[in-house]
Structure 1
Amino acid sequence: MTEVPEYLLERSRQRRIALGVLEDDGSGGDGDTGAAAPAAGAAAAAGPTQAEMIAAAREAAQLEVEPEAPPDPSWVIAAQTRHRIPIWVLPVLFCLPLWAFVYVKLTEPPPEPITAINEGATTYAVRCSSCHGGDGSGSDGGLVGRPLWNGEVLLTFPSLDDSFIEWISVGSEGLGLGQVYGDPNRPGGAHISGGSDNAAAMPAFGDVLNEHQLYSVARYVREVIGGEAISDEVAAERDAEWEHLGGGALTGGGGGGGH
């Protein structure tokens, strides 16, 4: 039988020790060789370190380290860190227009009370001024109605009686063309219905004005345009009469007419 050389047996033993198949019992080989072999085997069995594996993986994959993102602008940071609007603000904002409306209504001055004179002024502006003028100048100012200013209406109707109210209500045709209206002894001559003396016929307003409007416009013509001077007692009596007729609420009338 052929003998296996000793060095071959030793080499096989060292190889098995390196592979971990055989434990080193300290026999065989010289001291340096025996000490170095187990160390080499342990290193081979342990394999590469984690750092070496990461470095090798990065090198193999050729990984590129991404640069850090630049910091956000200041306005972005401010928007991200600002305080949010509280939820209770929403109903407050919703109610602001209503509050403003109520505030204006509560703080605005109350409307001026309606009186017989300002009701009469409104009626006169709508119904009478087109023929008699806003100041009552009438034909003296180039219009077609008789003059009412400078006391002219007081000469025709010396008092605020039913005849004056009737004249405004029925006009020339209602009274009858050619008939005297007002004071027949009027200084300068009585006035005749129907458009004499270059004056137009008086239209009727009884169908568009109610009783207190007829009364208030008669007062306005006499007291404001005609310049009638009355005492406080008479003014109070006339106010009471106007209220008795239903005065106190402004009622409008459409269209303009002269008288």
Structure 2
Amino acid sequence: MTEVPEYLLERSRQRRIALGVLEDDGSSGGGDAGAAAPAAGATAAAGPTQAEMIAAAREAAQLEVEPEAPPDPSWVIAAQTRHRIPIWVLPVLFCLPLWAFVYVKLTEPPPEPITAINEGATTYAVRCSSCHGGDGAGSDGGLVGRPLWDGEVLLTFPSLDDSFIEWISVGSEGLGLGQVYGDPNRPGGAHISGGSDNAAAMPAFGDVLNEHQLYSVARYVREVIGGEAISDEVAAERDAEWEHLGGGALSGGGGGGGH
């Protein structure tokens, strides 16, 4: 046990006397030397108590109890205790958009192959439907072009030959106004270039359509709108002619007439 100096003990005793905790027995300072000696001897014999020694040491050192730190806010505790994101997650998150793009592309159905018939349908919708109508009704439906439906185009052009392709390519002015086009012995009378029977003149499309487009739109008008029935052998021959003219490869791939 550490021995506390006498002056510290004396200071502590004087402090307690001043506070009224301890009575003054006259043992300190002056007074009768004879009376002080026995008291000092008794005090020395008894010695300070442990409580007195601790109190004196605390008073001498002026110990102060440090206040406890306030607890951390809840958001700080949550940030300190939450699970950290593993480092391997970062490259995974970076690759997710690329993976999604590849997945969508792999699951998309392949594009429909280009054929003579669907190429002709596209050309007809863009170049011909405004005058002849989407169904080919033409003037029967209140439009300005001649009717093509219900076999009308087949009566005018009984076969898919150069005369039909030329008519689409050069139109009324190219053929010559007032000239007969198609079958001159057409049932119901021959058709005259330049427009009649509430039908307008035929524009020329040779400058805006290439050879395989002219051929494919002629096929679409005959086989789909006109209702021409052909055998598989004839369809195969026409497909081969369309491809020979540049259809399929120049149209974005595919081939065939859709039969």
Task: Specify the TM-score bucket, using the shorter chain as the normaliser.
Answer: 0.7 to 0.9
Moved more, 161-170 or 12-21: 12-21
Task: State the Cα distance separating 1:241 from its structure 2 match.
Answer: 0.5
Q: Structure 1 residue 17: deviation in Å?
A: 27
**Cα shift at 1:55:** 6.3
Q: 1:24 to 1:38 in 2, by over 3 A?
A: farther
Cα 1:48–1:233 change in 2 (3 A) is: farther
* Preserved CA contact (<8 Å) 1:120 1:220: yes
Q: CA deviation at 1:79?
A: 2.6
Greater displacement, 117-126 / 104-113: 104-113
SS of residue in 2 equivalent to 1:31: coil
Q: For each residue in 1:173-192, what CA deviation from the matched residue of structure 2 results, as whole angstroms up to 9, or x when unmatched?
A: 00000000000000000000
Q: Which has the larger radius of gyration?
A: 1
Extract unaligned runs of 5+ from structure 2.
none
- Say what the alpha-carbon RMSD is for the aligned residues: 10.8
- Taking the aligned partners of 2:239 and 2:39, their CA distance within structure 1 comes to 132
Q: CA deviation at 1:71?
A: 3.9
**1:118 CA displacement:** 0.3
Report the TM-score, using the length of structure 1 for normalisation: 0.73
Alpha-carbon separation, structure 2, partners of 1:2 and 1:208: 115
- Checking the alignment, whether the CA contact within 8 Å between 2:8 and 2:60 is kept in structure 1 is no
Superposed CA deviations along residues 198-218 of structure 1, whole A, max 9, x for unmatched, are 210000000000000000000
Tell me: CA distance 1:119–1:18, structure 2 relative to 1, closer, same or farther (3 Å).
closer
Note closer, same or farther for the CA distance 1:137–1:32 as it changes in structure 2 (3 Å cut): same
Q: Quickly say closer, same or farther: Cα 1:173–1:22, change in 2 above 3 A.
A: closer
Distance in 2 separating the partners of 1:2 and 1:257: 113
Kept in 2, the 8 Å contact 1:18–1:38? The answer is no
Q: Distance in 2 between matches of 1:11 and 1:258?
A: 118
Q: Is the 8 A contact 1:193 1:201 kept in 2?
A: yes
* Identical aligned residues as a percent: 97
TM-score (norm 2): 0.73
Distance 1:256 1:16, change over 3 A: closer
Q: Give deviations 1:68-127, integer Å, cap 9, x for gaps.
A: 345446554333122211112111111110111011111111001110000000000000
Q: 1:45 to 1:19 in 2, by over 3 A?
A: farther
Specify whether residues 118 and 90 from structure 1 end up closer, same or farther in structure 2 by C-alpha distance, changes over 3 A only.
Answer: same
Q: How many residue pairs align between the two structures?
A: 259
Residues 103-112 or 210-219, more deviating: 103-112
